[in-house]
Chains A and B, each alone.
Chain A
């Protein structure tokens, strides 16, 4: 049939702006706004839309220049094509194909972006929970034929309560649709359902069939483009915690231990991966949570060179190296090339668990898959090598020397670039070692560890020349001679800059060595290396402060350069003693004999000294307002004076009598110190603190400019913060329009300051202050992990390490607002175990559901309400308020039904060490003797003691008369006397409403699913109902609790009867007056009424009128009935015709369409067969 559309009507007149300006005497220009109402509405709307876009401003702590890879989780029910998608994407991005997808796969996707693909195991709820917590982007796979499955819904809900990452839908298996229209319809249906779940307009990709084991290239290209430009907002939880998705795991337990103690010992395990979120603190022993394993302390962390660096990073690296080469005088290799697209070389892939191209990497080994052993065409078989390469490898495999032999003749190497020392040539070595060191550094090949490629300043570099000893010294220090070690450290500091001095020093110390021949070798070496002591050393106060083996007073002395002079002449033997003395002294001070250790008032000089010191105010004149003009002139003077004061103060503080000897040389000290200061100032600006001096000579103007610019920038940062005075927050006329902008600007500024400050530190300092930044590839070692973790390791299941904040390490009671999930079939019962996914952890606990009785008490609920929030209190590791969580009743796959598994969702409201929850308890008693307002009550208590506990308690009768418990009666045990506001009845029931405290069971059972062989089968505490069902126990029923029909016997109240004897005695006023019943009939009862006259006439008339009217009605009714009959007949006829027609149409339809459908059914069957 032809569809008839309404024809388009052209607008008759041209509605241009020009014409509209003047119409019918109305001058549009004369009015600013033509339609104010409409304009207001549009403005309102646009501002609404803008406002809705805003989020609470949050600091993004991911570093800008080298962010961690984006975690792309591919999630979906089994058979939706997750692996295929990952393979296709990897193939698309790196041109390498995977045989198997195991563990996270990191690929470079753009100049500054890397992606980590992670396949979420389809059938494991635990893994889904973990993935939801770390994924930045979720590719939600769904089968186009089935639409949304339970797993999809569960995952979406999990993700929603853990911060909601970005979600992209991917519908697959769309090639199975035969007709285009159904395909289109189901696409639309899917899309709209997806929108309601995620957000309106969420992107849903459609992938048609599989070609060569991959999705069509064009579709994958689109998807990968979409992914690579996607932006991510920081999520609160992840912005506050460091976390890591392990892409590699190695068991580094000593094999000897395994051999000797068996396999069941705890393992030492190293996890590798990119750090995400905030920085991981660099202090040893930081607590982290391994999802599915438990809480553990990190033994140590090590930053490794990035296995999959971005092209941007590599470029920076190259630039850095070129710079370095230039400094060293080598010819430059030309300007860097600018590239528009990624080189094939740069399309890196890192998937250590997935054996890309048959290569599997371990900590310090690479395993190559060589095919089957002894099979046909096996490689690397000794004697049957196929080429030179293979021969080389097989020859390596046969060891010629035993281990003992191979260590024969190996000497001790003191410094990484020093020569090996052998037992025999000790003395000879000691004479020449220093010379050798310098020689080697000049012309020798590389002998130390290769410097890994790290952008910016490398950590190891700093370690080598600044602080190599500090970290491991802390433990072993006590065994050593304190002095000697400090000196060695000093040498390390000074070494690169002052080679000349060192030679002298060496000759100096040779004499010493000859003097004390019996000294142990190490010490002499140390003293030999220490250099001349007359030279004042520059100590870094930052380091000194944190050397726990040096007492603070020593720290200060060293820092201020007041080392005692006799130190120089002291022989080593004396030093030894001195060490012990020192130790004693320090012990004395730390043990604290005096109370002054905590005094608030700082140390001041004595009154007289103060008077002498402050003859006038010149010294601090510049500190007062209005004297700034004076400041510049006075500055020189002031500084000197201030220094003097410092010295004085120092001496006074430590009551060091010997220090006065040094007073003479004070001026000189100061100058030396200040020069040191200056050099240090410069040093901290640049990135290579130690090369600074050498470089200084051959600085080009450009470099100088650069340095100046950097200096300026840092100054600007300082000033802006200071001058801006917090961005003039209180000033309404500041340059920021909205509060939002102001906050943004503040954060940006703070971020800038952070970066500037951190840049100015040496890498090693930076690591100490900042920790391990997100984006760095680290190896994290755990000491005592359960053996099951390693033994049952399966790369398919993600290993996630989440850092814990201080509060999260404590245990306590969490009070949360909770609601049964509306898709979960059953309400939840108090004290039934519930697996909560809160923070990083998944644990089983026993929540008690409560409600708040008008904010006065928390009353226990037996069950959660059907549709509203209630409170839940449970024991577990604390988590900061405002954290959302999910609850699941059963995680084991074998126990799940097809139903929705997420039982509850909630948010943490409050954490505490204890909580007061009560349940209502009504005690019931009966009166047995009643006085006026007093009654004796029985059956409420069983002993006088109990009564005593409740003395003064409010009680109430059922009828509402209030009273109070007074005192226990002595005779029948447990009976008591109570008073009421009115007289009660003997039949009344007395109720005492009391609140009985409920204690939370301290049950915490972490879900250790990763320790199981079968990861999906973790079973914790069972629900009460499950236990009863399993053990075939009937649910106990208290007959009192059963609801029965209430049967109330009819109560009879007897009338008041007063004995006649009393009645007689009563005064008249109080007598009950009762009259006798009347015997005579009254007039009204007796009279007869007769109708007549006018009234009679009227009545008969009315009767006639009514008769006529009734007859008329009768007639009308009969007529209507006839008409109705006629009409019904007509309708029946029509109906018959209609049925006939319908039948015919149906017949026609089924004869046409029935066949088609049969066909389609068979088609669908074949499709599903293909897929499985």
Chain B
């Protein structure tokens, strides 16, 4: 009886987000022409693995992948959550899989407790600290209070061997309506520099590099050294740093980076510090890498108007794609208008929530 009307998308852009949005909205989607022009067309390992994960975390969802792998039809089911262990293929780090789970976890039937095994860091995807200190505070702002990411083992690329445990205990009916109109003031900068299977001095060198840049900022800078050794340090040597600028009200901006073989730790520290400054200068309330999470949470909020201040430079290609995809799935538009303040060219993103409620949860 259910009529199959898909929202159709071309290409693998925002693939995870599409699947997540589809699951939240309950609307089936069809993603076409996934790398159809590529020499190696179709879905990659990590995408298939992600679909597997989705299948495990939901009940009743069906995934059809075409013969060539260039077309995926996804009919969402009900988010069930529960305990699960996911083996992540080495192509992408665990952050790639954890990140979309953050959108779903608070709206599931059971509490999320998922263990991810694989590589824990990469150049492009969210690192563990980025999720822990960057994304989870945003969720907290929307009412998801009890979520945590425990690092059981670290596993640097290429061999990995890491293990993290995502626990989301608060199942909320709907996110809180956001009204963030003021750019928050940063009160301190914190950070973690870690290393696995290399000399702990690397960590201190990274910290030194970062400190040198951040010295002139004029607020407290506190970077922790975190050297992993022994069995919990994974299979490969590696090191990286995450810097977080935090405000009193709980908003965070962050930047992160990991070191390659032969890279100079001081340089990495310096670069990440500069990136943090850049990120701060470019973002109003949330950073660019937190924006998608914040916007999606706003879209699935109550049928009230929520507001979020963003800067002009945050309106980039990714943002536009995000909004277009949201519109296609939820039918909701984000209204951008300049702030009333004359000497700032920031924008206020105004969103009316779709009135989503967590229907998956059982009543007591």
Q: A591-B35, A624-B186 are in contact. Are A605 and B340 (CB under 8 A)?
A: no
Q: Which of B5-13, B159-167, B194-202, B233-241 contacts A (4 or more CB under 8 A)?
A: B5-13
A161 to B278, CA, bound (A): 57
List B residues 70-97 near A (Cβ within 8 Å): 77-78, 80, 95-96
Please give me the 8 A-B residue pairs with the lowest Cβ-Cβ distance, nearest first. A913-B60, A283-B331, A552-B320, A599-B124, A592-B11, A602-B288, A610-B274, A910-B362
- A600: interface (CB < 8 Å): yes
Contact between B359 and A911 (Cβ–Cβ < 8 Å)?
yes
Contact of B26 among A61, A545, A753, A809 (CB under 8 A): A809
Q: B324, A588: Cβ atoms under 8 Å?
A: no
CA of A599 to CA of B33, assembled, Å = 19
State how many angstroms separate the Cβ of B313 from the closest Cβ of chain A.
5
| Chain B residues, CB < 8 A from A721 | 179, 181
Known: A546-B327, A593-B38, A602-B288. A279 touches B303 (CB 8 A): yes
State which residues 323-364 of B face A: CB under 8 Å: 323-324, 327, 331, 333-338, 340, 342-345, 347, 350, 352, 354-357, 359-363
Cβ distance B48 to chain A, nearest Cβ, rounded Å: 14
The yes or no answer to B142 lying at the interface (CB within 8 A) is: no
Contact (Cβ within 8 A) A912 B60: yes
* Residue on A nearest B123 in the bound complex, by CB: A601
The reply to whether B182 and A722 form a contact with Cβ atoms under 8 Å apart is yes
CB distance from B289 to the nearest CB of A (A): 5
Q: Does B36 contact A (CB under 8 A)?
A: yes
Which residues of A28-87 are within 8 A (CB) of B? 59, 61
Question: CB < 8 Å: which of A279, A548, A599, A680 contacts B125?
Answer: A599
User: Across the two chains, which residue of chain A brings its CB closest to B9?
Assistant: A590
Q: Which of A714, A753, A907 contacts B179 (CB 8 A)?
A: A753
A sample of 12 inter-chain contacts (CB < 8 A) reads A546-B323, A555-B320, A559-B315, A598-B12, A600-B124, A614-B278, A643-B345, A718-B181, A721-B179, A806-B27, A806-B354, A881-B359
Known: A61-B303, A553-B317, A592-B35. A610 touches B185 (CB 8 A): no
A653 & B289 in contact (Cβ 8 Å cutoff): no
> Chain B, 275-311, contact with A by CB distance < 8 Å: what is the 0/1 string?
1011111100001110000000000001111010001
Q: Which of A760, A806, A809 has the largest number of chain B CB atoms within 10 A?
A: A806
Q: Are B217 and A810 in contact (CB under 8 A)?
A: no
A611 in contact with B59 given A286-B331, A546-B333 (CB within 8 Å) = no
B278 interface neighbour in A559, A598, A613, A718, Cβ under 8 Å: A613
Q: Report the nearest A residue to B1, measured CB to CB.
A: A1004
The complex places the Cα of A616 from the Cα of B303 at a distance, in Å, of 44
Which B residues touch A593, using CB under 8 A? 35, 37-38
CB distance from B339 to the nearest CB of A (A): 9
Stretch at the interface among A498-506, A761-769, A1137-1145: A761-769
Q: Which residues of A contact B (CB under 8 A)?
A: 59, 61, 240, 278-279, 281, 283, 285-286, 295, 297, 541-542, 545-546, 548, 552-553, 555-556, 559, 588-593, 595-605, 607, 610-611, 613-614, 616-617, 619-621, 623-628, 635-636, 639, 642-643, 645-646, 649-650, 653-654, 674, 677-678, 680-681, 684, 711, 714-715, 718, 721-722, 750-751, 753-754, 757-758, 760-761, 765, 768-770, 805-807, 809-812, 878, 880-882, 907-914, 1004
Contact indicator A750/B304 (Cβ below 8 Å): yes
Given contacts A545-B320, A912-B109, contact A617 B336 (CB under 8 A): no
Are A598 and B16 CB-contacts (below 8 A) given A614-B274, A617-B217, A757-B305? yes
Which residues of B sit under 8 angstroms from A61, Cβ to Cβ?
A: 303
Q: Once bound together, how far apart are the Cα atoms of A976 and B309, in whole Å? A: 73
* Interface pair B304/A541, CB less than 8 Å apart: no
Q: How far is the CB of A109 from chain B (nearest CB, A)?
A: 29
B186 touches A625 (CB 8 A): yes
**Contact, CB under 8 Å: A714 / B340:** yes
Q: Within the complex, what minimum Cβ distance (angstroms) separates B168 from chain A? A: 19
Interface membership of B129, Cβ < 8 A: no
Instruction: Check A281–B217 contact: CB distance below 8 A.
Output: no
Q: Does B260 contact A (CB under 8 A)?
A: no
Give the distance in Å from the alpha carbon of A718 to the alpha carbon of B345 in the complex. Answer: 17
A595–B44 CB distance below 8 A: yes
Known: A639-B343, A674-B345. A552 touches B35 (CB 8 A): no
Q: Which residue of B321, B323, B334, B359 contacts A807 across the interface (Cβ within 8 Å)?
A: B359
Complex-state Cα separation, A627 to B315, whole angstroms: 27
A680 and B181 contact, Cβ closer than 8 Å, known pairs A654-B317, A911-B359: no
Instruction: List chain B residues, Cβ under 8 A from A283.
Output: 331
Query: Nearest Cβ in chain A — how far from B45, in angstroms?
Result: 11
CB of B139 closer than 8 Å to a CB of A: no
Interface string of B186-214 (1 = CB under 8 A from A): 11000000000000000000000000010
Interface contact A542-B336, CB-CB below 8 Å: yes
CA distance A628 to B187 in the complex (A): 12
- A620 with B281, Cβ < 8 A, contacts A546-B327, A590-B10 known: yes
The chain B residue with its CB closest to the CB of A541 is B336
Extra inter-chain contacts (20) besides given A607-B270, A718-B181, CB under 8 Å:
A541-B315, A542-B337, A545-B320, A552-B320, A596-B124, A597-B14, A598-B12, A602-B287, A611-B270, A613-B274, A619-B281, A620-B280, A646-B312, A653-B317, A750-B304, A754-B352, A805-B355, A809-B2, A811-B2, A878-B359
Report the minimal beta-carbon distance from A999 to chain B, rounded to whole angstroms: 15
Bound complex: CA of A699 vs CA of B25, how far in Å?
A: 48
Q: Does B54 make an interface contact (CB < 8 A)?
A: no
Tell me the bound Cα distance from A1056 to B101 in angstroms.
72
Contact A602 B305, beta carbon cutoff 8 Å: no
Inter-subunit contact A556/B316 (CB<8 Å): yes
B267–A607 touching, CB < 8 Å? yes
Residues of A within 8 A of B302 (CB): 59
Residue from the list A595, A596, A628, A643 in contact with B185, Cβ < 8 A: A628
Q: Contact: B313 with A913, CB < 8 Å? A: no
A611-B274 contact, Cβ under 8 Å, with A811-B1, A911-B78, A912-B60:
yes
* B278 x A552 contact (CB < 8 A): no
The answer to whether A768 touches B333, judged by C-beta atoms less than 8 angstroms apart, is: yes
**A interface footprint on B1-43 (CB within 8 Å = 1, 0 otherwise):** 1110100001111111000000001110000011111100000
Structural contact, B37 and A588, CB atoms closer than 8 A: yes
Quick check: A806 and B25 within 8 Å, CB to CB?
yes
If the complex has contacts A597-B12, A645-B313, A711-B340, are A769 and B179 also in contact, measured as CB distance less than 8 A? no
